[in-house]
Amino acid sequence: MAQTAAAQPPDAPGADGAIVSLEPVSCTPRSEYLALTYWSDGLRVKGFLGRPTGRTGLPAVVFNRGGLREFGELWAQELVPFVEAGYVAVGSQYRGNCGGEGIEEFGGADVDDVLSLVTLLKSLPEVDPRRIAMFGGSRGGMMTYLALKQETLRGTRNIAVAATVGGLADVTRTLWERPGFAVTLAALIGKTPTEAPALYQERSAVFWPDLINAPLLLQHGEADAQVPVEQSMQLADLLRTAGKTVKLITYPGEDHGLSGHLYGIRETLEWFQHYLGEPGEDLAFDSHRAQMEAALRSWP
């Protein structure tokens, strides 16, 4: 006799993207924000989910945070611009962080934590599964490129459009420019660049631009001291040569996070609107800026 789901132990791992728990963090008259625990590779991973309330057929976005370990952890407010503009938004802390199970690998198996969120979004009744975007900053840019790569390798196209800010596109080059970073990365990746250069190339989109197929917006500050603008410039050139749809915007004098240009969110939402917007639907930053600011002011 086939075993039923009810016969499973109460702590048995769920399918990738299955929700373990949701706990309220904040709400507005038009949206809610929740602390999320979900399954990925049999691990309970932490993150956040935000969504407009009382609406269906919504576009959605996976927000990929930067940093490593708990440096750069999400606080849920990062999702506010997307949610108040009309998206269901989710973001992962990546495995092993902020109480989540497993071990972070800086672009190894933890890429599945990002892809599991795509599966999670597709399971939500309020989400239009044809309209899922992805956004990432810094290391989150690398995670975005890796997720797009995996989509191609798996023969799926669940991510309809993507955007990055200060995205890490060449991990090996970053280590030349920031040699003090090498020890930290070797601890996460498991080998040094000398011992296993392929592990670093596997995480670097400049080595496989042909595997990125979603329309991609690259934004980068020209004064970025953490990930030089040349990384996005090189990736954009390689993508164009490979016949991909890509747009590059660089900002003179701007820093790693584009703090003087609203973190690149206005242009990101414009890019997403172009590919995901439906007739009569307004997903623009400026149209919803008052609601975004109100949501942040009322944050507990």
Residue 108 identity (one-letter amino acid): G
Residue 240 identity (one-letter amino acid): R
Quote the pLDDT of residue 68.
Answer: 82
Quote the pLDDT of residue 259.
Answer: 94
Instruction: Give burial (CB, 10 Å; 0-12/13-18/19+) of 143.
Output: buried
Sheet holding 58-64, edge to edge: 19-28, 31-40, 43-52, 88-92, 58-64, 127-137, 161-165, 216-221, 246-251
CA-closest candidate to residue 215, choices 127, 147, 148, 291: 148
Domain edges within the chain: 13-297
Quote the pLDDT of residue 67.
Answer: 83
Quote the pLDDT of residue 11.
Answer: 65
Quote the pLDDT of residue 223.
Answer: 97
Instruction: Give burial (CB, 10 Å; 0-12/13-18/19+) of 229.
Output: buried
Low-confidence ranges of the chain (pLDDT < 50): 1-9
Q: Model pTM? A: 0.93
13-297, what's its fold? Rossmann fold (3.40.50)
3-state secondary structure 211-261: HCCCCEEEEEECCCCCCCCHHHHHHHHHHHHCCCCEEEEEECCCCCCCHHH
Quote the pLDDT of residue 8.
Answer: 43
Residue 180 identity (one-letter amino acid): G
Tokens of 200: 């670093």
Rounded Cα gap, residues 46 and 40, in angstroms: 10
Query: Residues 97-115, buried b or exposed e (16+ Cβ, 10 A)?
Result: beebbbebbbbbebbbbbb
Quote the pLDDT of residue 5.
Answer: 37
Quote the pLDDT of residue 289.
Answer: 97
Rounded Cα gap, residues 113 and 44, in angstroms: 10
Rounded Cα gap, residues 109 and 91, in angstroms: 17
Tokens of 297: 């002011």
Question: What number of other Cβ atoms are within 10 A of residue 47's Cβ?
Answer: 29
